[in-house]
Structure 1
């Protein structure tokens, strides 16, 4: 044991033995204080992370805690500090790669800050289920709330977010005065569309995500606006549901048209499905049709050909959300919308039109 004499070690061992042979209750602050030869107040300071304790004394107390198996009473600490070191998370899907990566970043950031996570997944943002999920988290006494919600809050008239709890919303409209963290959806879609137009394509077709999706609608709006600014009337959108199957169906429709030379898909999975359809229809990529995705999945560089796509950092979105939530918990004012930049990753699925 660091910093203890042999006599001190013997005293600690004796205390541990007495503890185990006596009552079944767990070791208390008083037990640790006796074992370490310090006051109960000093043990309390160490267990609460206070800095006004000499390093040698801190080591003695920590050694005594480890030997006795002492664990600070979390409920008592929360009662004293007003914080429970737990963050509640409500997610409306766990099937999305982006949501899972965002959740992973949140949990890592929370762990580094000494917080645990209480997760409630929901199949959809139905207003009748959200209040119950929120009530469950309040019963678990969370310090703050993160909602991963790829939808328009304004479309859910009955959905009321808590006003008495620090809250951060990911992927949604900033309609309700809450802190919103989001990828720069519009900026990424503009980059994709401008690339294809800059290569000389007469227009860009779009495979969009679900009409109810906040992310999809912003990407589609930026695509359309970019075409209009170039004096090009946007062709009709082919809607998918983020899946490769929906991208394949849209791709079959587009592959049958000789006037289609450039496609911007709202995510990489739909781009992959469209690429399969183009291959099956004998349309060469990129010689006959160029295609751009959105997400930059780990596998996108292994598509055939490797996919040009818009990179969005799920890691940054998750860690930034946790950072802003912790700042609110500590009393900082809630900021407004925070956008995480995107960047275009150019690979072999795009080129100038060859005819």
Structure 2
């Protein structure tokens, strides 16, 4: 027969205090003498006592747990955000409980949220929401604080890196190098981030008095970027803004296989600044997102810190070696 788990009664007996005193220590009640608190903590350590968050939540309405709802967790942005949220939550004294749902299935999104709420989470962070995810959340009465990441500013509860501003940085870098025929390799249409990056691309071209360039839709994968290389060659553009680094990697490989040099024939800029971007060949110029800062703001907002900032996080251009002036400058200027 297994050994009975250590409980509050055992800790109270070892420390020579009442069970109520142990509960007060667990709940960080201020009216406990320092010497008594230290004796209770020492007894917990000696006995190997572990806090039962579910039971604690019933008595205190505090589980010290945050919920995270995610989809597409294998993509760089969502996975990096999950890791950053967990680290920030732990630093603030919270655990994280994660639920994953198909973003295209409103029922799955609702069920995942309800599951997190049933676990007694004190707030929920939604990572990389799609349009359908946001629609499902808007119809819910959740009862706990909720913050959405990467929603590109949609709704008062949204936090994000300024995706449109990042896209404009990318297009500006290409235009400043002399390019006037700039294509956009876009992400999937149901992603709010992809939509905002496409809007930023169009705005920067318009602000410079340049015609809107061709848009090629990918699916975030390097394979879709590789497939887009043939279209880029047919279009005769001299530069491409890729909505993420993985598609940029595939595009560069495809262009090379088609006999085109990057950046000699076609310049390429990505988005995200994945850890490998500086080791691509050529090293990729890209837009960096500060996921750690975004996670800090998300955790602060969901646990109710009054000073939690809500303004978009500014992206930064990482200039490397994948941009060069167009080879035929007179032809580029004439278009």
For normalisation by structure 2, the TM-score amounts to: 0.88
**Residue equivalent to 1:269:** 246
For 1:315, which of 269, 292, 316 is the aligned residue? 292
Range that drifts further, 276-285 or 166-175:
166-175
Q: Distance in 1 between matches of 2:9 and 2:25?
A: 13
Q: Could you list the per-position Cα deviations for residues 109-152 of structure 1 after superposition, in whole angstroms to 9, with x for gaps in the alignment?
A: 22222222221111223222222222222222221111114323
Q: Tell me, yes or no, if the aligned pair for 2:71 and 2:103 is still in contact at 8 Å.
A: yes
Alignment of 1:1-355 (within 5 A): 26-152=5-131, 156=135, 160-172=139-151, 174-177=153-156, 179-257=157-235, 259-327=236-304, 332=306, 337-355=310-328
- Separation in structure 1 between the aligned mates of residue 214 and residue 297 of structure 2, nearest angstrom: 36
Q: Which runs of 5+ in 1 are unaligned?
A: 1-23
- 1:201–1:262 contact (8 Å) kept in structure 2: yes
Distance 1:28 1:281 in 2: 68
Between 133-142 and 68-77, the greater mean CA deviation after superposition: 68-77
The range that moved more, 200-209 or 127-136, is 127-136
Take 2:125 and 2:136, find their aligned partners in 1: how far apart are those partners?
20
Cα offset, 1:90, TM superposition:
1.4
Q: Which has the larger radius of gyration?
A: 1
CA distances 1:42-86 after superposition (whole Å, capped 9, x unpaired): 433332234554444433222222223334454453233222222
Indicate conservation of the 8 Å contact 2:167/2:197, yes or no: yes
2: CA distance, partners of 1:75 / 1:155: 29
Deviations 1:153-173 (A, max 9, x none): 698378524352200011225
Instruction: Label 1:49 to 1:156 Cα distance change in 2 as closer, same or farther (>3 A).
Output: closer
CA contact (8 A) 2:229 2:251 kept: yes
In 2, the alpha carbon distance for the partners of 1:202 and 1:141 equals 54
Paired with 1:29 and 1:154, the residues of 2 have a C-alpha distance of: 42
Structure 2 CA distance for partners of 1:30 and 1:212, relative to 1, 3 Å: closer
The Cα shift of 1:296 comes to 0.4
**1:99 and 1:348 mapped to 2: Cα distance?**
27
- How far apart in 2 are the matches of 1:314 and 1:169? 13
Alignment partners' CA distance in 2, 1:75 and 1:287: 60
**SS of 1:340's equivalent?**
coil
* Corresponding residue SS for 1:88: strand
Instruction: Supply the distance in 2 between the matched residues of 1:155 and 1:71 (Cα, whole angstroms).
Output: 37
Q: Mark the runs of 5 or more structure 2 residues left unpaired by the alignment.
A: 329-335
Deviation at residue 324 of structure 1 after TM alignment: 1.0
User: 1:15 — aligned with what?
Assistant: none
Q: 1:94 to 1:72 in 2, by over 3 A?
A: closer
User: How well do the aligned residues superpose, as a CA RMSD in angstroms?
Assistant: 2.6
Aligned counterparts of 1:175 and 1:34: Cα–Cα separation in 2: 54
SS of the aligned residue for 2:112 comes to helix
